Structure formats: C-alpha cells, structure tokens
Amino acid sequence: MNQYNYEEIDIIKTAVNPFYRIMKIHLYLIDGLLIDTGPRIRKFNLIRAFRSKDIRQVAVTHSHDDHAGMAHWISEHFSADIYCHEKALPSLNKSALSPWYRRLFSSRHININVKSYPDIIRTPEHEFLPIATPGHTSNHVCLLEPDKGWLFSGDLYITPYPKVFLKHESINDYIESLNKLMSYNFDILFCAHEGVIHDGKEMLKRKLDYLLNIRRDVTELHQAGFTDREIKKRLFPDKVRLELMSFGLFSRLNMIRSCYRE
C-alpha cells in the first residue's frame, strides 16, 4: 500500500491481489469524492487508509470487485452517497446482502446506499461529469473534470494496445466509447491500474486507432474463412503474460471473437 498526491488528489495504490502483486489498483480521492473503492481481498489495508479520510461521495466506475468491492464497507462506515451505472445497481446491491450469520438474528438486509449516477457530481471545488463508456463492461463509466482536463478512466484505458479481452468485453463498445470521448477536452488520464497518464487524449486516440485496425484485420480474415486459432497465430503469435497469469480468463481468442460476434 502506498499513498501519494497529484495536485489536490489523494491517490491510494495497492496490489489488486496479495498473491499477484504485479497488478495494482489506484483509488482517487478529491474533495471528499472517492473514485473506485478497491477489492475486498485488500480489505484490511484499505480500511486502514479509509479511516483517516473524509469520504462524502463515491463514484464506482464499474462493477468488478477491484473497483466496487469495498462499496459495502464504505456505506456502513461513512454517510456517503455511492454512485454507479444503473446497470451495475443489481450487482452492487447483491454484494451488500448481509452474511448468513447476521440474517439469523435479523431479517433486515444491510441498506447499501447506492444510486445511479446523477448528471453531474458536485464537490465544494469541482464538478465531475459521468460519461457512460461501455466496452470493458456494459456498466462502465468515466468521470470528467472539465475545468482541470482530468479524465478518471476506470478500466477503459489500461493499455493502448490490448491483445487479450475478458469474455464479455466488446470491441464495438470500446470503439464507440473512445469515439465519444474524443469530443471532450481533457489531458490527463487517471487510470485505475496504470495511474496518472499524461497526454491522455492522445493515448486514447492511439487505442481507438489500434482497435479499429484490429477489428478490420480480424473481420477480413474471419470472412475469408480463417478459424479463430489461425487468426490468433497470424495477428497475435506471441504468448501474452496476462493470458497465462489469468489462466485464460483474459485471452486473445476472446478479443478475436469480439470482433465479429456482434
């Protein structure tokens, strides 16, 4: 666990998983607004960090546990409004069901205070515009601070040149979301896994161009009758570390199939 600042932003950085320390998650706290909450598996470290903070609002970029996992704990210990995309509401509320041993003594479900995003999130010094940006998940949201040119990009960016996807990631949605973001002004990305990225808009443009090329190449080969495995051999011949480390949860074949699935 490591904490530092970027201008007035408090950044909490921790390994996503204690057994796989290479992948980090960054939580951003500005003016009482916490962007993403961290994974439940890091609970003890995160609670130690949260206790000294003044958390008044929480923006969850999407429903994966490394982003939404601590929302429940925060709702029990802070009187904070917690926001997520309306499509993420069922999964955030489900994770808030009280554990079985508490239900023995009370029929009450823990009331997690999650709401769908308002048009604008206001803090004393800033305004944040939630922008629906599906691709990584269908319930993904980025937050733009237009005066500062800051974009809190959740898991939309991570790398401009991805070679592996989760099963439900959608290349078409990524392309549409990236196109949409090109119409906004921003300069710095606050990526949940990679931290602060300068020239953020340029980096997202690179990702957009790359994905357009990949989609075109895969679609052409698919229409010419190549199998997914043949396409993989041609376009992504090298082994990908994340694919090995995730036991295929992230895979090149998922990415290839997403190009012609929809």
36 binding Zn ion? (CB under 5 A): no
Each residue 56-75 as x (binds Zn ion by CB under 5 A) or -, in order, gives --------x-----------
155 binding Zn ion? (CB under 5 A): yes
Separation CA 92–CA 62 (nearest Å): 10
Touching Zn ion, residues 71-100 (CB under 5 A): none
Tokens encoding 199: 């020239």
Write down the least CB distance from residue 136 to Zn ion, Å.
6
10 binding Zn ion? (CB under 5 A): no
Write down the least CB distance from residue 262 to Zn ion, Å.
20
CB nearer to Zn ion: pick between 62 and 148:
62
Span near Zn ion by CB under 5 A; candidates 47-55, 97-105, 123-131, 151-159: 151-159
CB nearer to Zn ion: pick between 39 and 200:
39
Size of the site for Zn ion (CB under 5 A): 2
Span near Zn ion by CB under 5 A; candidates 3-11, 117-125, 149-157, 219-227: 149-157
Place of tokens 């709702």: 75
Q: Which residues bind Zn ion (CB under 5 A)?
A: 64, 155
